[in-house]
Amino acid sequence: MITGSIVALVTPMHPDGRVDWESLDQLVEFHIKQGTDAIVAVGTTGESATLDTQEHCDVIERVVKLTAGRRPVIAGTGSNSTGEAIELTQEAKRVGADACLLVSPYYNRPPQRGIVRHHEAIAAAADIPQILYNVPGRTASDIALETVVALADVEQIVGIKDATGDLQRGKELIERVGDRMAIYSGEDANAYELILLGGKGNISVTANVAPAVMHQLCMLALDGKADEAKALNDELMPLHRALFLEANPVPVKWALRRMGKIGSGLRLPLVELDERYQPKLELAMANLELL
């Protein structure tokens, strides 16, 4: 089982939008050295929405090769097209990913029975561990608790990333399906609390810029050290908040550029972090000695 701090890795890009493969290589090594426990390639933070299919597959394959078994790699292979999700998931298995992260179908807003059939079809077509990803704030497609319960019986489905930020929902997930699948937080600000309730880790944006501290936070929570985890999370809270001053991954890519880890590349319709937010993010980073 994959546990701990799982970075939702950015996809570095050149100013003209081309993937910056050299910076990607360096980021992977940075995370391994800093203690990140696993890497998500081409999730939401990796700008999956604007990478074409070949780029999407190439980034996953590159991260798998670079980690070389030193860390688990979770490939983002979700889509609102079941056929496309199957193809991406099959390709992730082919190149050696350890698991796949599958976002709930977005925009077309399927009913719950459609979500069940979507994931059942992917599981039947690709024999690789699969993690559901519920982020209704982006998808307008909320995976209901009863739907998760139904999907927990599917052998290939081993976990769910809950990015609702609702700890009560997380608690219910742990109580209902925690014996059959891993529950991961997708909300940095209260991830440690979900882990203390029985969650297995945090799929994190903050880990991009503070990987060692996020690893430490998750380990404290997994060890049941609630007071220490809270104290460390309180220190991180200004950074958690600053990384969402605009839509992810706009702030986190600005922060990584400020750290000298990547260049300025984003793909439209995303644009550089608004100047009015830059001092707030820089201050949060400076207070954690990240600059």
Known binding residues for pyruvate are 45, 203
DSSP 158: E
Catalytic residue among 93, 161, 200, 253: 161
Beta strands in 81-172 (DSSP E): 99-103, 130-134, 157-162
3-class DSSP state of 229: helix
Side chain identity at 215, as an amino acid letter?
H
CA–CA separation, 277 vs 59, rounded Å? 30
- In sequence order, which residues have a C-beta less than 8 Å from that of residue 77 and are 6 or more positions away? 42, 85, 88, 89, 91, 92, 100, 101, 102
Token pair 């739907």 is found at: 147
Catalytic residue among 106, 107, 133, 253: 133
Annotated binding site: 45, 203
Number of neighbouring beta carbons within 10 Å of residue 112: 14
Give the 3-state secondary structure percentages of the chain, helix then strand then coil, rounded to 5.
50, 15, 40
161 in catalytic set: yes
Long-range contacts of 213-219 (CB under 8 A, 24+ apart): 213/288, 214/5, 214/7, 214/36, 214/188, 215/4, 215/5, 215/34, 215/35, 215/36, 215/37, 216/35, 217/5, 217/191, 217/192, 218/3, 218/4, 218/5, 218/37, 218/191, 218/192, 219/4
CA–CA separation, 205 vs 7, rounded Å? 6
What counts of helices (H) and strands (E) characterise the chain? 12, 8
Q: In degrees rounded to 5, what are phi and psi of residue 97?
A: -60, 150
65 in catalytic set: no
Which residues are catalytically annotated?
Answer: 133, 161
